[in-house]
Structure 1
Amino acid sequence: MSARTALRLPTPVPASPQDRSYWLDTTVPERGDELPALRGDTTARVAVVGGGLTGLWTAYRIVQAQPDADVVVLEAEFCGAGASGRNGGQVHSWCESLDRLEAVVGPREAVRLARASVEAIEELAALQDGGLDMDLRLDGWIWGASSRAQEGAWADALARSRAAGLDVYTELDADGMLARTGTATSYQGVVEERAGSLHPGKLVRGLRDLLLARGVRIHERTPVTEIGSGPRPVLRTPGGSVRAEKVLLATNAWAGAIPEINRFMYSVESQVVVTVPIPDRLDALGWKSGASICDSQRQVLYFQRTVDGRVLLGQGTGNPVFAGRLGARTNRNPPLAASAVAELHRLYPSLADVPIAYDWVGAIDCVATHVPVLGTLTDRPDVHYCVGWNGTALAQLPVVSRILASVLLGTDDEWGRSRLVGAPPVPVVREPVRFLGAQVVRAAIVRRNALERHDRRVDPLTRALTHLMPTPEAVPAPDEPGRTPAV
């Protein structure tokens, strides 16, 4: 294998302890609890690169289907250290994205996947009932509006889901919103009742332990630095190697460093802040449940009351990452926190004196369709990838992992034939034009959001610039059983 044929992967920059998220800080393994790094050379039927939720869920589905399957998971730091431990902890079905799903896979498969995501939430509940503690609270997912421009943003999703027999949403008026969220800022919306919030760090730890009990090998502190070409590619790490029949790249935004993937995937930063515990003050606001909440602005806000009585609030900043080069700034970027804190105070002005205990950045892997892309690398038919979650994955991953497991095992079933497999990705503008253009568009979105929050008119130039951001495009997908993927 020559250097020219090897696929080189960058080593992620680990977050320092003071830059870890609330989720990671409350679940990070102690040194004695870390799993050993790979030492020496070994083989596997399936090698998973990345010990986050994509990788762990897929490994779980593989051993569910074939208990004796030889699977190894290679994680650069510790399981969940990347995007899986940095998200907003919101759990809701794919019913809000039926239009996007339909554009990629056709109406029949879109409904099937959305229905499967509803069932996945029940699977999460069953796992928790069976002993996998993830702080799952099915107190609802609330999708609201706090300005005229946001009103009715959910209307299409409501109509499509009801037409498909997925009547998961209930409309809320101002009183209903106030009773559930403790703020009068959002005054109308819908709620998906069998949805809510969870602790992603605990979910990662629970899945990790389930896999270990089923014989899956997991190596932490084991970054994959290079993947060879040809059949049974060799994955090289600082301490050894794995020769595998199939490889899954489950590295989320970090996959953007691969040129082929970077042509259609781009990364942006999402900012999250968490207060100190204030359960009594939240009780006084009437905010007592574990519902997850989001609004409908372009820099979407998402927030929840945590189990220990904190406010967790995140904001989609749209801040772009150049050419997928993630570094220390995509672990924590303090200047971004000010905007999220300002939004927290706008929603809950009486909490303006409450200290912020955590602030961190999560990198989001984005694609224009807002639907995950499942594919194989060109000239590397044994190296598969799954990217493009666009910030929505906790109830979707249990579904997509079934598809990935069938592809990796070569199983000819409804999952392996899903039209998500091999759906052509929509290319985006290449660097450096992408990065420069994203800065211009982001500035326009910030202006537009500020105007719309105050019900003010948006000028034509600002409106036109915001329409330049990548948006879902229809991909031909006949409404018929999917094609058999090449595995």
Structure 2
Amino acid sequence: MTNLTKHRSFWLQEAGVDDVCPPLTGNRKTDVAIVGGGYVGLWTALRIKELDPAVDVTIVEADVCGGGASGRNGGFVLSWWPKFASLTALCGEQEALRLALASEDAITEIGEFCAAHSPEAEFRRSGWLWTATSPAHDRSWDDVVTLADRAKEGTFEHLAPREVARLAGSPTHLAGVLEHSAAIVHPGHLVRALRRRALELGVNIYENTKVKRLNRRGAPRLATAAGTICADRVVVATNAWAAGLKELHTRLFVISSDIVATEEIPNELDEIGWREGPAITDSQTLVCYYRTTDSGRVVFGKGGWSIGIGGHMTKAMERSAGRAEMVTRDFQRYYPMLRQARITHDWAGPIDRTHNSLPIIDWLNREKTIAVGVGWSGNGVGPSVVGGKMLASMVLGRQDEWSSAGLVSARAKHFPPDPVRYVGAHLVREAIVRKERAEALDLRPSRVAVAISNLAPSGLEDKS
């Protein structure tokens, strides 16, 4: 049975989750077991089947496929160009360019998958607009844009302020740049289509099956409430829940992201010229991100408020009426002309942040029988395709450009352990709130707030 008490996003309510695979019972053996039925787990499974259809692949999912971040995000299909500075620092400029181009190709691949298997997913390649909504954030993109243009000329298009306001549908957007490769998608329809395709290719899927224990030594063995799985190789793709693993505890930091969706207002969107506009983010640390849907809704999200402790997820990580009101106020501040639009849906979800906001693609054990693909930091929709190629090559023992990619087993900066991290994160968040409230009013924030804010890890964008 599906977890009926779980609050579903607008996307999953539209896509539906009534078709549920039965949970695991008894003992079974498989070649590759994947823990997590979201984008990363599903793309990894599909890639394995593409490379070797004879490999037996089994996915175990604690909820339903897409019940986590894959069915709760804003539907932004971004490349790694916003993180090109971080990629370069980690991998070197040549490998960073290869991975950035691969992330562009991944967007194309998602579009092709939607055309073939999920036309209802509303894939729309309308670009990504990185904006400044206060003078303090103007030109915050300069360093990464310069670096990206040096690697591939014309990656970002510099826009006049009037054009930024036009594309965004609101004069509160003061400046910005456009990255053309990005797209928008309906996350619910995409993840459910990936699940259907995996089943068609013979992937075994067990939903409502939470893994309670994972043996690290010897042959990997997963224990669930009613059964066990013995596997030659395992992939852990559990998003924020991976923060509960001792090996990853100080490498991941869990925060919430909250989203609201309006009623359908196509006429109002036509009036402001934002009916089929790009995906948009501002330049705040507690980033706002927003887009329109094909039916004429506005979906508006804000990241970084509720703070997790380890792999424990509170109900507030799933939904918070108070935070939804805060997100609504930000939406109305950016689009005062849409204040009368009724909010019909709100939801939240946990994000697994790393220090540089790039994913962790690594081995969990010395025997290299358990791989992990986590830490997508709010930008996993597109890059999960690339991550799936890396993880598939790793567990299949292939020596290729994906198993040797610069992100595989890359060095990672650690956070302090909990509870030190939990307390410190609240102090940093409060400083960020004070700083960004002042900047929104075009006031100078206090030096203390600025100094403490600078302790925050890198965000969705590499800001100057």
Regarding TM over 0.5, the answer is: yes
SS of aligned partner of 1:324: coil
The answer to whether residue 385 in structure 2 is matched with residue 398 in structure 1 is: yes
| Contact 1:50 1:76 (C-alpha < 8 Å) held by counterparts | yes
1:212-291 mapped onto 2 (5 Å cutoff): 212-291=199-278
In 2 relative to 1, CA 470–287 (structure 1 residues): closer, same or farther, beyond 3 Å?
A: closer
| Contact 1:92 1:141 (C-alpha < 8 Å) held by counterparts | yes
Please name the residue that 1:80 is paired with.
66
| Contact 1:138 1:290 (C-alpha < 8 Å) held by counterparts | no
| Contact 1:197 1:290 (C-alpha < 8 Å) held by counterparts | no
Deviation at 1:264, TM superposition (A): 1.4
Please name the residue that 2:394 is paired with.
407
| Contact 1:15 1:331 (C-alpha < 8 Å) held by counterparts | no
Aligned residue identity for 2:378: G
2:5 aligns with one of 11, 16, 34: 16
Structure 1 CA distance for aligned equivalents of residues 147 and 443 of structure 2: 30
Please name the residue that 1:303 is paired with.
290
The answer to whether residue 165 in structure 2 is matched with residue 195 in structure 1 is: no
Please name the residue that 2:13 is paired with.
25
Aligned residue identity for 1:115: L
Deviation at 1:337, TM superposition (A): 1.3
Structure 1 CA distance for aligned equivalents of residues 382 and 252 of structure 2: 21
Structure 2 CA distance for aligned equivalents of residues 117 and 246 of structure 1: 26
| Contact 1:14 1:328 (C-alpha < 8 Å) held by counterparts | no
Please name the residue that 1:439 is paired with.
426
| Contact 1:136 1:199 (C-alpha < 8 Å) held by counterparts | yes
Structure 1 residues 377-410: Cα deviation after superposition (integer angstroms, max 9, x where no partner): 2456312211211111111111111111110100
Please name the residue that 1:147 is paired with.
134
Please name the residue that 2:145 is paired with.
158
In 2 relative to 1, CA 288–271 (structure 1 residues): closer, same or farther, beyond 3 Å?
A: same
Aligned residue identity for 1:59: A
| Contact 1:304 1:312 (C-alpha < 8 Å) held by counterparts | yes
| Contact 1:48 1:250 (C-alpha < 8 Å) held by counterparts | yes
Structure 1 CA distance for aligned equivalents of residues 241 and 367 of structure 2: 19
Aligned residue identity for 1:443: E
Aligned residue identity for 2:387: V
Aligned residue identity for 1:39: T
Structure 2 CA distance for aligned equivalents of residues 285 and 245 of structure 1: 56
Please name the residue that 2:340 is paired with.
353
| Contact 2:127 2:179 (C-alpha < 8 Å) held by counterparts | yes
- Seq. identity, %: 37
- Unaligned 5+ residue runs, structure 2? 460-464
2:96 aligns with one of 110, 116, 124: 110
1:464 aligns with one of 448, 451, 457: 451
Please name the residue that 1:49 is paired with.
35
Deviation at 1:268, TM superposition (A): 0.4
The answer to whether residue 306 in structure 2 is matched with residue 314 in structure 1 is: no
Structure 2 CA distance for aligned equivalents of residues 324 and 242 of structure 1: 22
2:45 aligns with one of 59, 82, 91: 59
1:341 aligns with one of 310, 328, 345: 328
Aligned residue identity for 2:447: P
Structure 2 CA distance for aligned equivalents of residues 266 and 229 of structure 1: 23
Deviation at 1:59, TM superposition (A): 0.6
List structure 1 segments (4+ residues) > 4 angstroms apart after TM superposition. Answer: none
In 2 relative to 1, CA 364–70 (structure 1 residues): closer, same or farther, beyond 3 Å?
A: same
Aligned residue identity for 2:299: L
Deviation at 1:14, TM superposition (A): 5.5
In 2 relative to 1, CA 166–363 (structure 1 residues): closer, same or farther, beyond 3 Å?
A: farther
| Contact 1:104 1:369 (C-alpha < 8 Å) held by counterparts | no
Please name the residue that 2:280 is paired with.
293
2:408 aligns with one of 421, 434, 455: 421
2:196 aligns with one of 209, 219, 228: 209
Structure 2 CA distance for aligned equivalents of residues 115 and 299 of structure 1: 27
| Contact 2:168 2:277 (C-alpha < 8 Å) held by counterparts | no
Structure 1 CA distance for aligned equivalents of residues 280 and 200 of structure 2: 35
SS of aligned partner of 1:260: coil
Please name the residue that 1:388 is paired with.
375
| Contact 1:376 1:385 (C-alpha < 8 Å) held by counterparts | yes
Structure 1 range deviating more: 250-259 or 123-132: 123-132
| Contact 2:63 2:208 (C-alpha < 8 Å) held by counterparts | yes
Aligned residue identity for 2:68: G
Please name the residue that 2:353 is paired with.
366
In 2 relative to 1, CA 363–343 (structure 1 residues): closer, same or farther, beyond 3 Å?
A: same
Aligned residue identity for 1:16: T
2:75 aligns with one of 59, 68, 89: 89
1:122 aligns with one of 108, 111, 130: 108
Please name the residue that 2:317 is paired with.
330
Deviation at 1:180, TM superposition (A): 1.6
Deviation at 1:303, TM superposition (A): 0.1
| Contact 1:141 1:291 (C-alpha < 8 Å) held by counterparts | yes
Structure 1 residues 135-177: Cα deviation after superposition (integer angstroms, max 9, x where no partner): 1111111111111111112222221222112522212222212
| Contact 1:231 1:245 (C-alpha < 8 Å) held by counterparts | no
In 2 relative to 1, CA 23–100 (structure 1 residues): closer, same or farther, beyond 3 Å?
A: same
Structure 1 CA distance for aligned equivalents of residues 114 and 14 of structure 2: 18
Deviation at 1:369, TM superposition (A): 1.7
- Unaligned 5+ residue runs, structure 1? 1-12, 473-487
Structure 2 CA distance for aligned equivalents of residues 117 and 105 of structure 1: 15
